[in-house]
Amino acid sequence: MTPAATTFHTPHPVAQRRSTTESPLVRRLLIGVALAFLSVFLLVPLVAVFSQAFAKGIGFYFHTLSDPNAWSAIKLTLYAAAIAVPLNCVFGVAAAWAIAKFDFRGKNVLLTLIDLPFSVSPVISGLIYVLVFGAQGWLGHYRDAEQPWLPWLQNWLNEHNFKIIFAVPGIVLATIFVTFPFVARELIPLMQAQGRSEEEAARVLGASGWQTFWRVTLPNIKWGLLYGVILCNARAMGEFGAVSVVSGKIRGETNTIPLHIEALYDDLNIAGAFAVASLLAFLALITLALKTWVEYQHARQNQTKMFP
């Protein structure tokens, strides 16, 4: 028998095993380890959240959620996200567009700045806002100044008792700060990979800057953008650290969902805390589902364009 024939007509299937395949034992072990890890650290806590939430019955669950303070926290969270997400969406697209499609001095500095919220502890970001806008900070000094720059602005601020820290504006600002890298980070590599030639083609064909953006750039990045927005929203609603520092935790006024959960927990109202926490857990599940759907849609669209 020639060596070639031995290779092709071997009676033992084992010999055909690919070089990258491990034995069944190793495979099961690897899958087992991964599954065990996921169960302990993800699945069990998730189940715990929902079981604790309903520990005192479904009536108590809805009673907790319909409490005025809970409602206020839910509304404030939605309000902050409704401002932060669109702003970060615009900012992210603008930053990604600038970085991917133009060459300018200081590009790397901008890239580093975009990553800043990821590298700074959220508590520090909150504290920075307190220092800048708090009663002892720049804003406080300005409001108390005897000869202020722009007197009408000082008047207006004092008349309306406009506060940023321990008030809604601070929460919104902190949320924007912590979530602004999500969209930009998602889009920059995508837009860099797509290059500039389609935009150049559009320009030569007579399209204006806006037309180029709406007709060429945006359709090319839409799935990446949606993905970034979903992640950004999840973080905006779930943010604790930075918001906790600037909020002042006034119940029914400046508590967001995560802060309200903490307040309930501190009151030893464990079932109540988990009931509100189940909202965030539910949000996480929806986010996960949306993320999977976006990825699926994106893949499907590429597929149909490849094989009609």
Partner 1 sequence: MSVEVKNVTKKFGSFTALDNVSLKVESGELVALLGPSGSGKTTLLRTIAGLEFPDPGTAQILFYGEDVTQIPASERKAGFAFQHYALFRHLSVFENIAFGLRVRPKTTRPPEAEIRARVDKLLKLIQLEPMAGRFPSQLSGGQRQRVALARALAVEPKVLLLDEPFGALDAKVRKELRRWLRQLHDEIHITTLFVTHDQEEALEVSDRVAILRAGKIEQIGTPEEIYDNPASPFVYDFLGNVNLFSGRMKDGAVVIGETEFSLGEGTGETDTAAVAFVRPHDIRVTRQANGPALAALVLRSNAAGPVANLELKRLDSGEIFNVQLSKEQFQELAPKAGEPVFVELKNVRVFSDDYSI
Name the site residues for partner 1 (rule: CB under 8 A). 197-198, 200-208, 211, 215-216, 219-220, 302, 305-308
Question: Which parts of 54-106 fold into alpha helices (H)?
Answer: 57-66, 68-101
- In whole angstroms, the minimum distance from the beta carbon of 100 to partner 1 comes to 15
Token pair belonging to 52: 């604790």
Per DSSP, the residues of 182-199 read HHHHHHHHHHHHH-SHHH
- In whole angstroms, the minimum distance from the beta carbon of 35 to partner 1 comes to 37
- In whole angstroms, the minimum distance from the beta carbon of 273 to partner 1 comes to 47
Q: How far is it, in rounded angstroms, from Cα 74 to Cα 278?
A: 12
Which phi-psi region, left, alpha or beta, contains residue 206 (left: φ > 0; alpha: ψ -120 to 50)?
left
Cβ proximity to partner 1: between 19 and 304 the closer is: 304
Q: How far is it, in rounded angstroms, from Cα 173 to Cα 75?
A: 16
Cβ proximity to partner 1: between 26 and 205 the closer is: 205
Residue pair 264/272 in contact by the 8 Å Cβ criterion? yes
Residue appearing with tokens 């309306």? 160
- In whole angstroms, the minimum distance from the beta carbon of 269 to partner 1 comes to 52
* Cβ contacts of 39 within 8 Å, gap of 6 or more: none
Cβ proximity to partner 1: between 203 and 249 the closer is: 203
Cβ proximity to partner 1: between 35 and 201 the closer is: 201
Cβ proximity to partner 1: between 39 and 208 the closer is: 208
- In whole angstroms, the minimum distance from the beta carbon of 189 to partner 1 comes to 17
Q: How far is it, in rounded angstroms, from Cα 66 to Cα 54?
A: 15
Phi, psi of 240 (to 5 degrees): -115, -55
Cβ proximity to partner 1: between 102 and 307 the closer is: 307
- In whole angstroms, the minimum distance from the beta carbon of 102 to partner 1 comes to 13
Residue pair 233/88 in contact by the 8 Å Cβ criterion? no
- In whole angstroms, the minimum distance from the beta carbon of 188 to partner 1 comes to 19
Instruction: Return the ∠ at Cα 252 (arms to 246 and 253), rounded to 5°.
Output: 40
* Cβ contacts of 77 within 8 Å, gap of 6 or more: 237, 256, 257, 258
Residue pair 254/69 in contact by the 8 Å Cβ criterion? no
Cβ proximity to partner 1: between 200 and 295 the closer is: 200
Cβ proximity to partner 1: between 151 and 189 the closer is: 189
- In whole angstroms, the minimum distance from the beta carbon of 228 to partner 1 comes to 18
